[in-house]
């Protein structure tokens, strides 16, 4: 991210999410994730226009992993839910109508 290599960031973020789901040991959840993962690519493209997002996402992923390593299910759930809420808010902001530009001479 520091070098501006967003392509590698998204590949690593994908690995993080896939690894997290796989580590759950839940085959049904993994199959569901694989189905929606393809659809998430278009959101990644839209989010790539937000330069602050990768750094924030990395910090959020670190909080999730720290809670998992500490075996603190509640903290992991809260960190994951906060991560998802933040992304949803970012998606909404992308979709929000922009004010019309003043076309007066």
How confident is the model at residue 75, as a pLDDT? 98
The pLDDT of residue 47 is 73
Structure tokens at 53: 């997002």
Q: Are 80 and 64 in contact (CB under 8 A)?
A: yes
Integer Cα distance of 98 and 63 in angstroms: 33
* pLDDT score of 43: 76
* Six-digit token string for 52: 């602050």
Q: What is the pLDDT along the chain (105 residues), one digit of tens a residue?
A: 778 788 888 888 889 999 999 999 999 999 999 989 888 777 777 776 677 888 899 999 999 999 999 999 999 999 999 999 998 888 787 776 666 665 555
Do the Cβ atoms of 24 and 30 come closer than 8 Å? yes
């Amino acid at each position: 991210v520091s070098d501006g290599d967003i392509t590698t960031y998204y590949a690593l973020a994908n690995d993080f999410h896939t690894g997290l789901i796989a580590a759950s040991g839940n085959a049904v959840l993994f199959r569901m994730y694989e189905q929606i993962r393809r659809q998430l690519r278009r959101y990644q493209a839209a989010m790539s226009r937000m330069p602050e997002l990768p750094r924030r996402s990395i910090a959020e992923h670190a909080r999730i992993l720290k809670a998992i390593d500490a075996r603190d299910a509640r903290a992991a759930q809260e960190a994951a839910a906060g991560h998802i809420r933040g992304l949803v808010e970012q998606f909404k902001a992308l979709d929000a109508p922009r004010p019309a530009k003043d076309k007066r001479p």
